[in-house]
A and B are shown apart, each in its own frame.
Chain A
Amino acid sequence: MAKPNAGKIFVENLGKNNPVFVQILGICSTLAVTNVFKNTLIMCLGLIFTTAMSNLAIAMMRKHIPSRIRMMVEVLVIAVFVIIIDIALKAYAPEISKQLGPYVGLIITNCIVMGRTEAFALNNPPGLSFVDGLSSGMGYSYVLLSIAFVRELLGSGSILGHHVMPEWWTNWAIMVMAPGGFFMLAVFIWIVYGVFLKENKEKKEAAK
């Protein structure tokens, strides 16, 4: 790996190294939570917090973790942060916690969190790892939020719970169900590769 640089990591995790549409990680939650925008938003904030904090914690311990049990330690650290989020929501935002139900706990199994600690935090200093976790979480978030926006609009005719579609509009029930998530994710990846990443590829080929 070339010498890591915070700004570069930040931008790459949002764009050409995006955890969702380039690394294809965290797909399960992409499908599950993106049918209602508000739930997605809370899920994303939770994930950003978890990736950033667990990356930071693992990076600080990285020189002391015996490699044989590194995954156990990673999962433990991740679980701690997720439970903190869950308790905090229950105590200070009970309405949201009630709506999200089991989703918060599912952050533990999100591959992005484990993927980043395993691939990045184990080999890099805490500051950089924190930036990496933060930007990975944000890269994940904006993809999910754009998918959720379209799915809620077409599937429920609303934006953030406010009805916006005209009377004659018929909700697309499939957008609310899991297949709608598959379609939207595929369309998103297709657009991104077709429009943005294509230029990169052409540039690279021209450079050769």
Chain B
Amino acid sequence: MSNTDKKSKTKERLYTVFFMFIVTFISISALSAIYLTTKETIEKNKQILMHRAILYAANIEAPQSKEEMEKIFGERIKEVKDSGGSPYYQVLDTDGSLKGYVFLTVGKGLWGKIESVVGVDKDLKTITGVDFTKQDETPGLGARIEENWFKEQFRGKSGSFSMVPEKEKTDANQFQAITGATITSTGVKEMLNKILEDIPTRIKQ
């Protein structure tokens, strides 16, 4: 009697393991299939976002359509590597002459990294544009760094930056911080000051 009891218990346990295995197997297969079929689209989307950000930082107007945007990107932006091997971008004028540079950089936000794209003029000081490609800041507060008024205010300014409260007048080295998002704003400020300091050394090689 106790022997058959034991046997059915073992059977039950085996069934449990087997069941979990099967469910997991099916789930993972389904997800892998979906992942593989969409992988290319996702990579492409990421690339498009990045190219748009670089054009924005270079202050070159990007058309809505992907193909036209990529065409302009190909004509006006050239990827180069600095002595450390990390890439940055040369911005070319319509006649092919060098107009400025675009750098990728990372700042510290409240919740995580703020990945950004910073464009400078040929003088290596004047900012042509700033865009943010990845940030996990609080929606409605820190995440407002993606709003146009915030990004646009950097064009034509040069460091080293300090902050003034939202909606106040700014000098050539000041920008309006976001109310309620001091840590995020400070992170952006420090990131910009750092990259502006680094740019000359990275280009000289």
**Interface residues, chain A, CB within 8 Å of chain B?**
33, 35-36, 39, 61, 64-66, 68-69, 72-73, 76-77, 79-80, 83-84, 87-88, 90-92, 94, 98-99, 101-102, 152, 155-156, 171, 173, 176-177
B1-44, CB < 8 A from A: 12, 15-16, 19-20, 23-24, 27, 30-31, 34-35, 38, 41-42
Q: Which residues of the partner chain B approach A73 to less than 8 Å between Cβ atoms?
A: 19-20, 23
**Interface residues, chain B, CB within 8 Å of chain A?**
12, 15-16, 19-20, 23-24, 27, 30-31, 34-35, 38, 41-42, 45-46, 48-49, 134-136, 138-141, 143, 146, 179-180
**A-B residue pairs in contact (CB < 8 Å), sample of 18:** A35-B138, A35-B141, A66-B15, A66-B19, A68-B16, A72-B20, A79-B27, A80-B27, A84-B34, A90-B45, A91-B41, A91-B45, A94-B45, A98-B134, A99-B146, A101-B135, A155-B140, A176-B140
CB pair B20–A33 under 8 Å, yes or no, is: no
Closest to A102 in B: B136
CB pair B139–A84 under 8 Å, yes or no, is: no
Beyond the given pairs A36-B140, A94-B49, 15 more chain A to chain B contacts, judged by CB atoms under 8 angstroms and listed by A's residue number, are A35-B139, A61-B23, A79-B27, A80-B31, A87-B35, A88-B38, A90-B45, A94-B42, A94-B46, A98-B134, A101-B135, A173-B179, A173-B180, A176-B140, A177-B180
Q: Which residues of the partner chain B approach A69 to less than 8 Å between Cβ atoms?
A: 16, 19-20
CB pair A33–B139 under 8 Å, yes or no, is: yes
CB pair A84–B140 under 8 Å, yes or no, is: no
Closest to A66 in B: B16
Query: With A76-B24, A80-B30 known to touch, is A99 a contact of B134 (CB < 8 Å)?
Result: no
Q: How far is the CB of B54 from chain A (nearest CB, A)?
A: 16
Q: How far is the CB of B110 from chain A (nearest CB, A)?
A: 12
Query: With A77-B27, A91-B45 known to touch, is A64 a contact of B34 (CB < 8 Å)?
Result: no
Q: How far is the CB of A33 from chain B (nearest CB, A)?
A: 7
A171 to B141, CA, bound (A): 11
**A-B CB proximity, top 7 nearest:** A176-B140, A94-B45, A35-B140, A91-B38, A173-B180, A66-B16, A91-B41
What is the count of residue pairs linking A and B with beta-carbon distances less than 8 angstroms? 75
CB pair B31–A83 under 8 Å, yes or no, is: yes
CB pair B31–A66 under 8 Å, yes or no, is: no
Closest to B16 in A: A66
Q: How far is the CB of B10 from chain A (nearest CB, A)?
A: 14
CB pair A84–B31 under 8 Å, yes or no, is: yes
Closest to B146 in A: A99
Q: Which residues of the partner chain B approach A156 to less than 8 Å between Cβ atoms?
A: 140
CB pair B31–A90 under 8 Å, yes or no, is: no
A68 to B146, CA, bound (A): 47
Q: How far is the CB of A26 from chain B (nearest CB, A)?
A: 18
Q: Which residues of the partner chain A approach B140 to less than 8 Å between Cβ atoms?
A: 35-36, 152, 155-156, 176
Query: With A91-B45, A156-B140 known to touch, is A65 a contact of B19 (CB < 8 Å)?
Result: yes
A171 to B46, CA, bound (A): 34
The contact of A66 among B12, B24, B135, B143, by CB within 8 Å, is B12
Q: Which residues of the partner chain A approach B23 to less than 8 Å between Cβ atoms?
A: 61, 73, 76-77
Q: How far is the CB of A160 from chain B (nearest CB, A)?
A: 13
CB pair B141–A36 under 8 Å, yes or no, is: no
A102 to B179, CA, bound (A): 23
Q: How far is the CB of B17 from chain A (nearest CB, A)?
A: 9
Closest to A173 in B: B180
Closest to B28 in A: A80
Q: How far is the CB of A177 from chain B (nearest CB, A)?
A: 7
A177 to B46, CA, bound (A): 30
Q: Which residues of the partner chain B approach A61 to less than 8 Å between Cβ atoms?
A: 23
